[in-house]
């Protein structure tokens, strides 16, 4: 504990220097701006700004880049609430209820609770990183291909449960998403699949392209054919500070969202994306009246918003402690570090403590800045969005095109957002929810790869998903119960000399699959009942 305090004070000493404060501020501001503007994501921005950081010292450079990343999370929610375009994959769920709140004239409250929830989550996540960074690195290593596949299955089941309306349609959307994710060069054999011989499809469909097309472009098209919907964002924002009732409704979702987000953010393979989805599902399931969800429930904003910010921050843990980037933004951070001669890895914490703790302290400062600069600035963002739609949409389109082009410098990517826009528009018209498609797409590729990896390693044995266990130290009590089956006495080679005990195999993969099955049954039962009721009443 004393270590934690001295480490954090070292960090704040670094983060509070005027230069680093200014860089954190700049990063947060740029991040919010690009988060608000649909079509320019943090990946493109960080990639473009990398050369500029050459002249800075490494701590300052990373503080600024980190600010852009979590600033974008904040900004992304602003557009999700005000114009129903999630600026980031993690704010997809925020749009569901946040935008409904905006339509009811409660945009200010939605923005306010998003900001406050995010700040709270950010504070907790910062403490989590500081306190648990080192011990938690073990978690990343527990998840092998087998466990990861089971986790993905669980994630997709959650996505089905989360979807509004028909479960059948949600499953269909997930399958389309999974199918789209298989386009491209096969990882194991190098054969091309479903590319029609087109070279630009050889690397598959880019996530940003799909997301921007299906959410961004489709939304613009939908806005254009409903004239009456255009002035949605022009409605009054209303008061920003939530009242006591709002707080009462929101504080528990904030706590739960923070917990879920922090936990999932640590997982490698972009676990942070799962956070908001999981938080939303949980809130919907816990709510007394789930009908309110999708119609402007404040819990539907508070939970996912806290989860996405917590996840954004804890996803630094695998990077800072293991040097393994969990997502594309973190991969860029690795680049930024190596450019400055710092090789990310377990030794960063001991070799460059000022960098490690300085960055952590700056995260909290950044969150505070975001809260302070964003709430008053909401007026400015709104004014930006009050610009007549006939002027807005060409600008958004242009930003989308530039943003997409800047990621891979491929003209075909720009054409594809048009194509996916058309597809998204049709999906909306036919009453399909595009969010499960996107999740299916993100998880599909990981799921397939981990499934095949697990099977290759088990030499084709499907039982591996049920029988594979991870070693865990257990107390004498549990160890003696399962002795011989799951557990065996610890040997000195396993570090057993300090304390007698048992090393047990925990079937993590089977547990995850069991949770998935349980949740699916839970979700299916009432809907089967409801479906039958409807048939009967008609």
Partner 1 sequence: MKKIVLALAAAAGLAATGAQAQGYPTRPITMIVPFAAGGPTDVIARIVSDHMSRTLGQQIVIENVAGAGGTTGITRGAQAQPDGYTIMMGHMGTHGAAPALYPNLKYDPAKDFAPIGLAAGTPIVIVAKKEFPANDLKGFLDYLAKNGDKVNMAHAGVGSVSHSTGIFFNSVVKAKPTMVAYRGTGPALNDLMANTVDFMTDQIVNVAPQIQGGNIKAFAIATPQRSPVLPNVPTTKEAGLEGYEVSAWNAVFAPKGTPADVVKKLSDALAKSLDDETTKKRLLELGGVIPSATERTPEALQKLVESEVARWTPVLQAAGAKAE
- Could you list the residues that contact partner 1 (CB under 8 A)? 47, 50-51, 54, 140-145, 185, 187-192, 199-200, 202-203, 268-269, 322-325, 328, 331-336, 338-339, 341, 343-347, 408-410, 445, 449, 453, 456-457, 459
| Three-state SS letters, 309-355 | HHHHHHCHHHHHHHCCCCCHHHHHHHHHHHHCCCCCCCCHHHHCHHH
CB nearer partner 1, residue 344 or residue 507 = 344
String of DSSP letters for 412-431: HHHHHHHHHHHHHHHHHHTT
442 half-sphere exposure, CB direction, 13 A CA radius: 23
**What phi and psi, each to the nearest 5 degrees, are found at residue 458?**
-85, 5
Give dist(CA 461, CA 472) in Å, integer.
23
Could you tell me the smallest distance in angstroms from the CB atom of residue 269 to partner 1? 7
Return the bridge partners of 471, or none.
505
Other beta carbons within 10 angstroms of residue 425's beta carbon come to: 21
Give dist(CA 382, CA 391) in Å, integer.
15
CB nearer partner 1, residue 338 or residue 475 = 338
Could you tell me the smallest distance in angstroms from the CB atom of residue 473 to partner 1? 16
Query: Which residue reads 């590729």 in tokens?
Result: 445
CB nearer partner 1, residue 262 or residue 327 = 327
Could you tell me the smallest distance in angstroms from the CB atom of residue 422 to partner 1? 24
Torsion of CA 456, 457, 463, 469, to 10 degrees: -150
Residue 55 · residue 94 · CB < 8 Å:
no
Could you tell me the smallest distance in angstroms from the CB atom of residue 323 to partner 1? 5
Write out the two tokens for 222: 């939908």
CB nearer partner 1, residue 88 or residue 449 = 449
Give dist(CA 30, CA 10) in Å, integer.
27
CB nearer partner 1, residue 10 or residue 457 = 457
Task: Taking the CA atoms of 141, 147, 148 and 151 in sequence, report the sign of the dihedral they define.
Answer: negative
Identify which of 137, 138, 118 has the alpha carbon closest to the alpha carbon of residue 75.
118
Could you give the 3-state DSSP secondary structure of residue 204? coil
Could you tell me the smallest distance in angstroms from the CB atom of residue 88 to partner 1? 19
Could you tell me the smallest distance in angstroms from the CB atom of residue 525 to partner 1? 37
CB nearer partner 1, residue 129 or residue 332 = 332
Give dist(CA 431, CA 427) in Å, integer.
6
What DSSP character marks residue 494?
G
Identify which of 62, 63, 88 has the alpha carbon closest to the alpha carbon of residue 73.
88
Could you tell me the smallest distance in angstroms from the CB atom of residue 236 to partner 1? 42
Give dist(CA 225, CA 228) in Å, integer.
9
Could you tell me the smallest distance in angstroms from the CB atom of residue 239 to partner 1? 42
Give dist(CA 204, CA 206) in Å, integer.
6
Could you tell me the smallest distance in angstroms from the CB atom of residue 510 to partner 1? 17
CB nearer partner 1, residue 333 or residue 523 = 333
CB nearer partner 1, residue 16 or residue 339 = 339
Could you tell me the smallest distance in angstroms from the CB atom of residue 416 to partner 1? 14
CB nearer partner 1, residue 383 or residue 459 = 459
CB nearer partner 1, residue 322 or residue 435 = 322
């Amino acid at each position: 504990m004393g270590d934690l305090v001295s480490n954090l004070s070292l960090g704040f000493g670094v983060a509070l220097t005027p230069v680093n404060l200014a860089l954190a501020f700049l990063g947060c501001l740029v991040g919010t701006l690009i988060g608000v503007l649909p079509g320019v994501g943090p990946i493109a921005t960080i990639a473009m700004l990398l050369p500029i950081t050459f002249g800075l010292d490494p701590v300052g450079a990373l503080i600024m880049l980190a600010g852009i990343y979590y600033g974008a999370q904040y900004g992304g929610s602003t557009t999700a609430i005000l114009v129903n375009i999630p600026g980031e994959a993690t704010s997809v769920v925020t749009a569901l209820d946040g935008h409904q709140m905006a339509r009811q004239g409660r945009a200010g409250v939605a923005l306010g609770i998003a900001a406050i929830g995010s700040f709270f989550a950010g504070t907790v996540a910062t403490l989590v990183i500081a306190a648990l960074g080192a011990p938690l690195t073990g978690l990343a290593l527990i998840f092998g291909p087998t466990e990861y596949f089971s986790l993905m299955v669980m994630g997709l089941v959650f996505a089905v449960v989360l979807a509004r309306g028909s479960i059948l349609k949600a499953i269909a959307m997930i399958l389309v998403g999974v199918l789209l994710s298989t386009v491209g060069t096969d990882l194991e054999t190098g054969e091309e699949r479903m590319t029609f011989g087109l070279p630009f499809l050889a690397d598959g469909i880019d996530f940003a392209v799909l997301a921007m097309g299906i959410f961004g472009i489709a939304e613009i098209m939908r806005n254009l054919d409903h004239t009456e919907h255009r002035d949605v964002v022009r409605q009054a924002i209303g008061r920003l500070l939530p009242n006591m009732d709002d707080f009462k409704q929101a504080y528990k979702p904030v706590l739960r969202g923070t917990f879920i987000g922090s936990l999932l953010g640590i997982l490698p393979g972009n676990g942070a994306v799962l956070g908001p989805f999981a938080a939303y599902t949980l809130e919907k399931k816990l709510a007394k009246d789930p009908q309110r969800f999708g119609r402007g429930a404040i819990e539907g904003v508070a939970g996912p918003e806290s989860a996405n910010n917590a996840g954004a921050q804890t996803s630094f843990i695998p990077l800072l402690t293991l040097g393994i980037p969990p997502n594309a933004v973190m991969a860029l951070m690795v680049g930024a570090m190596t450019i400055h001669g710092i090789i990310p890895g377990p030794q960063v914490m001991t070799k460059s403590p000022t960098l490690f703790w300085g960055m952590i302290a700056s995260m909290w400062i950044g969150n505070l800045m975001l809260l302070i600069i964003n709430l008053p600035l909401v007026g400015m963002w709104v004014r930006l969005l009050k610009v007549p739609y006939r002027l807005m949409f060409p600008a958004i389109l242009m930003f989308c095109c530039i943003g997409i082009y800047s990621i891979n410098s491929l003209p075909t990517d720009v054409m594809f957002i048009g194509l996916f826009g058309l597809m998204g528009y049709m999906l909306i018209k036919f009453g399909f929810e595009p969010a499960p498609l996107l999740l299916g797409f993100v998880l599909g590729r990981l799921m397939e790869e981990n499934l095949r990896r697990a099977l290759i390693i088990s030499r084709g044995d499907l039982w591996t998903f049920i029988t594979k266990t991870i070693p865990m130290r257990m107390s004498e009590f549990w160890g003696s119960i399962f002795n011989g089956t799951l557990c065996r006495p610890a040997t000195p080679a396993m570090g057993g000399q300090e304390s007698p005990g048992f090393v047990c195999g925990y079937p993590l993969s089977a547990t995850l699959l069991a949770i998935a099955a349980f949740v699916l049954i839970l979700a299916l039962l009432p809907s089967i009942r409801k479906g039958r009721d409807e048939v009967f009443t008609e």
